[in-house]
């Protein structure tokens, strides 16, 4: 029989949990508060203003950076999800003595710093392929770690997939491509969607890889990092608040989709 928890143990665990949430979310709430504050030095009584958002939306540099970040995130997420899907299906569907090596190759970027990936990709493109830094090379470079994360997400769901459904479809005349579109994809698309979202967030917020492969093309992280040389401007707090809002909105949408069983992220066989 397990020992009953004493009131002091419950209080201690509750205090620890509250302290953990404060540690994790206090900086985010501070950024959101500061983005609406007329003075960032905690005035009393507080005065609120939307001037920081006016400065942010009125800046052509931030607008261009946002467009570039969206293109980078969407392109890298599509590439990462496609490669990870093919890799996960190949590893689980087809038995091979090289399967362990394939797993190692897909997971290896998880153990390499983004800074090294950015520098090595830049050197490879410049010295071997003779390619300049541009949006395409940045998308490909960001897809390296993105594919690893997407591969783990898809692999964790495909291990429960019943491949007999594909075999039955092929017996009745469906080719591999048609079998994937009509049998496999309708079943596993929620985990592909989750992998796409994670890969998008990683590429959208990345600085190290994008900085070395984009050259002078601005993105939101590079513009924010460059603005730090001139001090913390109010538009940076507004930018951080908006990015946090977008990320939280994505996770809230995912939670509501699962909560009301509109979609189920992962095959339930």
Please report the pLDDT score of residue 113 as a whole number.
85
Q: Does residue 268 lie in a domain region? A: no
Note down the domain range covering 83.
59-218+250-259
Q: Is residue 31 part of a domain?
A: no
| pLDDT number for residue 75 | 95
Task: Please spell the DSSP secondary structure of the chain, one letter per residue.
Answer: -PPPPPHHHHHHHHHHHHHHHHHHHHHHHHHHHHHHBS-SS--SS--B--HHHHHHHT-HHHHHHHHHHHHHHHHHHHHHHHHHHHHHHHHHHS--TTHHHHHHHHHGGGGS-HHHHHHHHHHHHHHTS-----HHHHHHHHHHHHHHHHHHHHHHHHTT--THHHHHHHHTT--HHHHIIIIIHHHHHHHHHHHHHHHHHHHHH--HHHHHHHTT---HHHHHHHHGGG---HHHHHHHHHHHHHHHHHHHHHHHHHHTTS--SS---
pLDDT digits (tens, 9 = 90+) for 25-44: 888 888 888 888 877 666 56
Please report whether residue 156 resides in a domain: yes
pLDDT at 145: 92
- pLDDT for the residue 269: 47
Total structural domains within the chain = 1
Look at residue 48 and tell me whether its pLDDT is greater than 50: yes
Mean pLDDT over the full length of the chain:
82
Given pLDDT bands bounded at 50, 70 and 90, which one contains residue 267? Answer: very low
Does the pLDDT at position 262 exceed 70? no
* Residue range 10-28: mean pLDDT, rounded: 89
CATH code of 64's domain: 1.10.3720.10
- Is residue 22 in a domain? no
Whether the per-residue pLDDT at 2 is higher than 60: the answer is no
Give the mean model confidence (pLDDT) for residues 205-221: 85
Q: Is residue 264 part of a domain?
A: no
Look at residue 135 and tell me if it is in a domain.
yes
């Amino acid at each position: 029989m397990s020992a009953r928890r004493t009131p002091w143990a419950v209080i201690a665990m509750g205090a620890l949990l509250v302290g953990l949430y404060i540690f994790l979310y206090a900086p985010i709430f501070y950024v959101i508060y500061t983005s609406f504050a007329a003075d960032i030095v905690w005035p009393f009584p507080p005065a609120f203003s939307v001037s920081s958002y006016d400065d942010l939306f009125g800046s052509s540099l931030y607008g261009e950076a946002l467009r570039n970040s969206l293109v980078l995130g969407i392109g890298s997420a599509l590439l990462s999800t496609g490669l990870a899907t093919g890799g996960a299906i190949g590893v689980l569907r087809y038995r091979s003595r090289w399967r362990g090596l394939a797993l190692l190759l897909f997971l290896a970027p998880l153990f390499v710093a983004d800074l090294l990936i950015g520098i090595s990709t830049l050197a490879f493109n410049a010295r071997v392929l003779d390619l300049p830094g541009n949006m395409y090379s940045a998308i490909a470079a960001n897809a390296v770690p993105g594919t690893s994360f997407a591969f783990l997400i898809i692999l964790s769901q495909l291990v429960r997939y019943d491949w007999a459904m594909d075999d039955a479809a092929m017996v009745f005349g469906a080719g591999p491509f048609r079998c994937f579109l009509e049998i496999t994809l309708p079943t596993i698309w929620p985990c592909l969607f989750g992998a796409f979202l994670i890969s998008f967030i990683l590429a959208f917020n990345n600085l190290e890889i994008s900085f070395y492969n984009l050259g002078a093309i601005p993105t939101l992280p590079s513009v924010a990092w460059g603005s730090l040389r001139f001090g913390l401007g109010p538009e940076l707090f507004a930018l951080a608040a908006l990015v946090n809002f977008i990320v939280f909105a994505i996770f809230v949408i995912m939670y509501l989709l699962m909560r009301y069983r509109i979609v189920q992220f992962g095959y339930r066989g």
